[in-house]
Amino acid sequence: MRTLVFSFLLLLSSTATFSQDADSVWFRQHYTKTEITIPMRDGIKLFTSIYAPVDGTEKHPMLLTRTPYSCAPYGSTEWKTYWKSYLLNYLKEGYIMVTQDVRGRWMSEGDFVNVRPFNAHKKEKDIDEASDTYDAIDWLIKNVPGSNGNVGVFGISYPGFYSTMAAASNHPALKAVSPQAPVTNWFIGDDFHHNGAFFFLDAFNFYSSFGKPRPVPTTVGPKNFEYYTHDNYKFYLETGALPHFTKLMGDSIAFWKDLMAHPNYDAWWKARDARNATHNLQPAMLWVGGNFDAEDKWGAWNAYRSAEANNKGKAFNKIVMGPWYHGQWASKDGTHLGNIKFGANTSEWYQQQIEIPFFNYFLKGKGPAPAIPEASVFITGANTWKQYETWPPAGKEDKAIYLQAGEGLSWSAPTAPTSFSSYTSDPHKPVPYTEDVHFNRTREYMTDDQRFAARRPDVLVFNTPILAEDVTVTGTVIADLQAAISTTDADFAVKLIDVFPDTLSHNEVDIYAEKDAAKQYPMGGYQMLVHGEVFRGRFRKSFENPVAFTPGKIEQVKYELGDVAHTFKKGHRIMIQVQSTWFPLVDRNPQQFVDIYHCSDKDFIKSDIKIYHDAGHASKIILPVLR
């Protein structure tokens, strides 16, 4: 979530000093800015900024973004720097650009509710985010001069959530919606929990500022938490058990209290699943996300799936997934992430070939119907866009690749009568998620070199032989482990890794500074994280009703790692790493069946973990291999 603060806000809410370049001058000459408040059905007024073309010779469509991150800059003389991003294309096309502070945030009235549940059975004065969107659109098309009566909605991350809710409003003027990296389910896969494991680095950093109450409308944002060190591993380890973080939060941050009060997937969480709003959708839908998005990759894939399942026969419900970090598709540079290059500017391709034609067609009637397939997916490794009629592709086959003794990985099942690999998970010395010292959680860790982790004794490593041919994986990867632990609970993190040939030379991290030796990175033997995912073991039978492990008993831990689109090239290896801590991305499991959100420092103990790979207990990873 917090990545959005510097990705999407820099695009849409910059308060940078107005600069006199050609595009900014053109913008001021050809557009007007208006700030208004729009009344909702219950009388609450929402602050809205409108940038409209001066040209009155034709009617113009609207693009609306509803956000909890501010309409800034505020004031009639302060303008958003649309011209600094690809959004300049929409200005040149004559769009009316609208941004609205959602209920209870910044300059809008009312009470803010995080991921406010969708109410499918609203009565006359009942509100939710869908009704607020309906009321906003209804007012805009009736009161903004020059409107052609067609409205589109888009937004990234939290504004992606509001885009999903907008689609559920089904206002007749709403023709096209693009939820991008949409917050969808904060317990199963987005942002703050993955498979019940608490991603507390992001949650604490985000809510210690964003979560502060805003009793009255204001243009002044909350202050950030003051950390005593800029080493996040040190801070989160030394602070200790989660009750210490609750104390640092104080009494005023309501949603943190909610997080601590709902450790399991209960009715409170289920009501906040945005997929509840994906029935009977009328607008054309374009779901967008990044396969290296550290925040809301799950939401993009699974909200799309839900919309597809809940709207059989719908005319237009498509998905685009590129090789991107959170919001990278809206940036100017989609050429690489960290050390991994994509061979072209994938962001620019998406903007020009998919998003802009999508809105132009449905809102302006411009051009032929866009030739957007069901799924447009960038395959890393092969570094190519592929278009599929279904996702996963019809040609994929789920194939098990088995963990073996001696750190092996094979398509053949193990035959040994008894075999396992083991490690000791020590929550006092957890495995870091990245090699370097950082303050903010990095976005590059999603493709980082994993050699640092492979060298640790508490990380298991399994390798295939050198591949004799390409292996392309397109679809949901599933971990199916046979595990025994010495305690009553543990986490399991499984990482799918592409091991590059040892013969590769250095790679320049920054493709625009290729002669700078200081920015070179040794790519020979690089262990590229293709995707990793964690699972809180107590939820292995049910997210609703956790159960303890019986120490020493072999049990199945099976879960989805998520969707992957990657080619392991001939000459590479496929690697699997297994570990039980991933810090400080994920909070530490005490490795006892206790209430983690209210436990004490003394509850953290070591656990001996055994991952079995024998004939009777074959641990495997199920890969969706494209034939």
Kindly report, residue by residue over 246-258, the tens digit of the pLDDT: 999 999 999 999 9
> What distance in Å separates the CA atoms of residue 192 and residue 190, rounded to the nearest whole number?
6
User: Is residue 471 domain-shared with residue 574, that is, in the same domain?
Assistant: yes
Percent of the chain with pLDDT over 90: 92
Give domain status of residue 567, yes or no. yes
The whole domain housing 18 covers 2-185+272-309
User: Is residue 161 domain-shared with residue 51, that is, in the same domain?
Assistant: yes
Residue 18: what pLDDT?
41
Contact 393, 474 (CB under 8 A): yes
Residue 21: what pLDDT?
83
- Half-sphere exposure (CA, 13 Å, Cβ side) for 178? 28
* Tens-digit pLDDT profile for residues 485-508: 999 999 999 999 999 999 987 765
Amino acid type, 294: A
**Number of domains comprising the chain:** 2
223-239 mean pLDDT: 97
Question: Where is the domain boundary, 309, 334, 367?
Answer: 309
Residue 244 confidence (pLDDT) above 70: yes
582-595 mean pLDDT: 98
Give domain status of residue 525, yes or no. yes
User: Is residue 55 domain-shared with residue 178, that is, in the same domain?
Assistant: yes
User: Is residue 408 domain-shared with residue 538, that is, in the same domain?
Assistant: yes
**Helix/strand/coil percent split, the chain, to 5:** 25, 30, 45
432-443 mean pLDDT: 96
**pLDDT interval class at 367 (50, 70, 90):** confident
205-212 mean pLDDT: 98
74-87 mean pLDDT: 96
**pLDDT interval class at 511 (50, 70, 90):** very low
- Residue 399 phi, psi (nearest 5): -125, 135
| Residue 373 tokens, joined | 């397939």
User: Is residue 295 domain-shared with residue 425, that is, in the same domain?
Assistant: no
Give domain status of residue 219, yes or no. no
Q: Report the CATH number at residue 162.
A: 3.40.50.1820
Residue 13 confidence (pLDDT) above 50: no
Higher pLDDT, residue 504 or 181: 181
Question: Where is the domain boundary, 283, 309, 335?
Answer: 309
Question: Where is the domain boundary, 288, 309, 330?
Answer: 309
Counting every residue written for the chain, the total comes to 627
Residue 7: what pLDDT?
40
Between strands 506-508 and 520-522, the pairing is antiparallel
258-271 mean pLDDT: 98
| Average pLDDT of the residues of the chain | 94
User: Is residue 400 domain-shared with residue 531, that is, in the same domain?
Assistant: yes
Residue 6: what pLDDT?
37
User: Is residue 8 domain-shared with residue 131, that is, in the same domain?
Assistant: yes
Give domain status of residue 7, yes or no. yes
* Tens-digit pLDDT profile for residues 590-618: 999 999 999 999 999 999 999 999 999 99
**pLDDT interval class at 513 (50, 70, 90):** very low
pTM of the predicted structure, to 2 decimals: 0.95
351-371 mean pLDDT: 92
User: Is residue 19 domain-shared with residue 116, that is, in the same domain?
Assistant: yes
Contact 613, 496 (CB under 8 A): no
Q: Report the CATH number at residue 444.
A: 2.60.120.260
C-alpha 151, offset from chain centre: 26
Give domain status of residue 384, yes or no. no
User: Is residue 400 domain-shared with residue 304, that is, in the same domain?
Assistant: no
Residue 519: what pLDDT?
66
477-481 mean pLDDT: 98
Give domain status of residue 379, yes or no. no
User: Is residue 494 domain-shared with residue 606, that is, in the same domain?
Assistant: yes
Give domain status of residue 605, yes or no. yes
Give domain status of residue 433, yes or no. yes
| Residue 136 tokens, joined | 């906003």
Helix orientation angle between 158-169 and 129-143, rounded to the nearest 10 degrees: 70
Report, in angstroms and rounded to the nearest whole number, the Rg of the chain calculated over CA atoms: 25
Higher pLDDT, residue 298 or 18: 298
